[in-house]
Structure 1
């Protein structure tokens, strides 16, 4: 049973790599706003958790199936149905998808051992995540309340949000009042989008796929685009003529990365300032074009091979 679960996970990890690489390539197009890239990063993470999906002739996974040593499609819908739900097996040397029948007893034994190692490290990683979460929580429990859900603490060097059910905006004790407006706009944008929840979900997914180095790379760029897209939304609210003021506020808030907090200084400052100064407000037409792009990319990356 455990080896079967691990086998499903390996297939999801492979499709996740393929999807993530496509997003990385799209990300290199400079004219695409970071908020679009931030949305697109949802696709590889969905691939990492969805064991099945609709089949479509235009799916990019058709290419991956051709590159696989052997592919087995398990049909889950009647032949006369208008659509086909399937699971594509990208692993080599397998005679069937589920249950797994290996070609040799040696391969089966290796897979059993590998699946045991996987679950031990995955559980250990999850426990580490929760321990770090509660350590961080204990460090800021003495934060002083200012107003609403805004607090101040001398334990932080940069503003951040902590919590999921009752998130709190925590400001550094010695932060300049001139930058408070930008900081609160930034953090409230994170709150409105639920970034803290999505951050933790992404980290938990990576714990299950700990053996895949590409997944950790995708997490890095996802969190970076989360901050950059938040900057763009703030500039959209306060106006492009205040770019330099916002950049100055960013420089003042020294970087203090927190695993479970959407921090104002949570990405490389040089990259963020460059993105801020080059920001241009989206027009209605360009917004509709990017929406169509997202739908088209999702249709090709979230569907399985025919």
Structure 2
């Protein structure tokens, strides 16, 4: 939905310009027939609902107005697309980031999501209001009496109107004068003949989508006004100018005195009665040559606003130069910058790889190297991986060299963004594929899965007690005959790691060969997902667990994997400090809580006889370095109060008071963490 909102925002910005131009044209056409102004609103609503158009050299659309959605999407990449997506809460908890530090990428995503939700709430509110209003109107008309054809009379309405889209009805107040009745019926029949009820309903639907844009509200009101003015003029053309006075009197007597918010009904006496009467009294049939000139002007303006400007597609080199200029602007606008870049040059621009199957269009990676010459190299502070050669700054950064990503669109290329050579292994095809997978997932051009089909999530513990999880997929064949692979894994702090097979071939070719070997009777364990998971954990991660330690979730969606696993610990709490760090924190000295009933095998390994436990439990403390933990406002606390064996929920203040109440050693506590922070603390009952 975020991407849809950005597209709507893009169209709304472009349409605001079109609305302003149409309003100006409307003023110039003030003395002409209002049908010309009414027609021009069609291009506005086309721009508001259709995200594409044709190109023309006669376009009146400025180039700078186009592409807001693309600019937001690509700038939102923040220039970093690592194989590890870092969870910021975890970085804060480990002291790597200061409290309150949030990346531009996350902040932009958050605001876009907030605005998207607000946008959807506004749409629903307008639709609900419109539906409720229509239901009330229909209830008001339930006693209306049929007169003839599609004409009805009601004693509960003050002004005539048309109601209905595909089989519209004309509703009239009772006791109308015969002369008034004639004018009104012609007016409403013209509305029906021109399909005005459908057009206004469509305009209101578009207004609901773009409710946040005040220009669209103005366009809706002015279009409705031009609709009525042009309809009045059509009545005069049909019945002659001699009815001006009587028609104006009818309009005045049947005025409702207010605008109708919504796409229905089309009311004869809606607001702007003064303007309509003035237009009726001043109306003169225009000369033929004036009509021809007006038609030509409106036609040119219509197609000028409907078409997009012809844009000469940029080459890869021109995109690279544009990228370098953006880097120069970033250098010179930085607060710490005391130098200016006086010259730039590209030293290397080379296509590294091309892939045809990642997106619907071919994708290319280009390696870029360049030099920036500052006016005074001595004023440059080389930091963040920056480097200088012979007085020139290089393209190097702490994350490596820029890797530009392009997408083919016909005979031209479209720049999608920049990766960095230090973020992934660009020396192999498989590594390049992984880098692009990450890149396009962040751009929301690909789903959060490398391979579609069935997935399995496998949770497992690290030696530290932290719970991690793997996402397993079938890369070649689905079902019982297909092999499984680990495509990515996540630690307990929410850090995401993408797995790249060690091969010089593409990932598809690599797994296709493994699939063939399995079908030939080799590597049979690849068809067993838990064995694949165990092989990866023991071999790749060097974490020695047994298959009994693995907890599998079958037939899951890839989106389920995004949820960070919870890690559970037990130990002694010490040094609980409230104000020392950005969040309250404590140290946890981890232990093993072993019982004779459940942990006999572990007790025997430790040389402890399960029968020699007087209280039924044994605490094994391997004397690890204490674990640093941070709590949040959402952390839950549970304690066992004196004389009870049940856990009771308490506040942080009550928990600290309870912790201090132990004169000797305090009992151990169960601690649950997620995304780098403590979710809950629960006291262990001591028999």
| TM bracket, shorter-chain basis | 0.7 to 0.9
Q: How many residue pairs are counted as aligned between the two chains?
A: 281
Instruction: Tell me, yes or no, if structure 1 residue 220 matches structure 2 residue 221.
Output: yes
Q: Shift of residue 92 of structure 1?
A: 8.6
TM-score by length of structure 1 reads 0.86
Equivalent position of 2:17 in the other structure: 18
Is structure 2 residue 244 aligned with structure 1 residue 243? Answer: yes
SS at match of 1:188: helix
Partner of 1:196: 197
| Cα displacement (A) at 1:295 | 1.5
- Greater Cα radius of gyration, structure 1 or 2: 2
The residue that corresponds to 2:151 in the other structure is 150
The answer to whether the 8 Å contact 1:224/1:266 transfers is no
Of residues 299, 303, 313, the one that matches 1:295 is 299
2:55 aligns with 55
1:281 lines up with 2:285 in the alignment: yes
In the aligned structure 1, how far is the partner of 2:273 from the partner of 2:73? 51
- Which blocks of at least 5 consecutive residues in structure 1 are unaligned? 69-87
Q: Give 2:255's aligned residue.
A: 254
CA distance in structure 2 between the aligned counterparts of 1:7 and 1:302, rounded to whole angstroms:
21
Shift of 1:31: 2.1
Q: State the Cα distance separating 1:158 from its structure 2 match.
A: 0.9
Superposed CA deviations along residues 119-151 of structure 1, whole A, max 9, x for unmatched, are: 222123223222322221221122111111111
Q: 5 Å matches for 1:30-41? A: 30-41=30-41
Structure-2 separation of matches of 1:101 and 1:57: 33
CA distance in 2, matches of 1:34, 1:12: 26
Deviation at 1:179? 0.9
What is the TM-score normalised by the length of structure 2? Answer: 0.39
Deviation sequence 1:137-174 (CA, Å, 0-9, x none): 22112211111111110111111111112211111113
Separation in 2, partners of 1:38, 1:46: 14
Q: Higher strand share goes to which structure?
A: 2
- Residue 161 in 1 paired to residue 162 in 2? yes
The equivalent residue for 2:44 is 44
Paired residues for 1:56-205 under 5 Å: 56-62=56-62, 65-66=63-64, 88-90=66-68, 94=72, 96=74, 101=77, 104-205=105-206
Cα distance in 1, alignment partners of residues 297 and 191 from structure 2: 24
Q: After superposing the two structures, state which structure 1 stretch, 7-16 or 284-293, moved more.
A: 284-293
Q: Which of these residues, 265, 270, 274, is aligned with residue 274 of structure 2?
A: 270
CA distance in 2 between counterparts of 1:277 and 1:124 reads 40
Task: Report the alpha carbon displacement of residue 220 of structure 1 after superposing the two structures with TM.
Answer: 0.9
10-19 or 248-257: which moved more? 248-257
Query: Could you list the per-position Cα deviations for residues 86-140 of structure 1 after superposition, in whole angstroms to 9, with x for gaps in the alignment?
Result: xx3035953649xx74662211221122112212221232232223222212211
Deviations 1:164-214 (A, max 9, x none): 122111111132222111111111111111111111111111111111111
The answer (yes or no) to whether the contact 2:162–2:168 under 8 Å persists in 1 is yes
Bigger relative contact order, structure 1 or 2 (CA pairs below 8 A, ≥6 apart):
1
- Cα distance, 1:57 vs. partner? 2.7
Q: Distance in 2 between matches of 1:255 and 1:199?
A: 19
- Give the structure with the larger helix fraction: 1
Q: What stretches of structure 2 of length at least 5 have no aligned partner?
A: 79-103, 312-687
> Counterparts of 1:94 and 1:216 in 2: how far apart (Å)?
25
**RMSD over equivalenced CA pairs, Å:** 2.0
Match of 1:4 in 2: 3
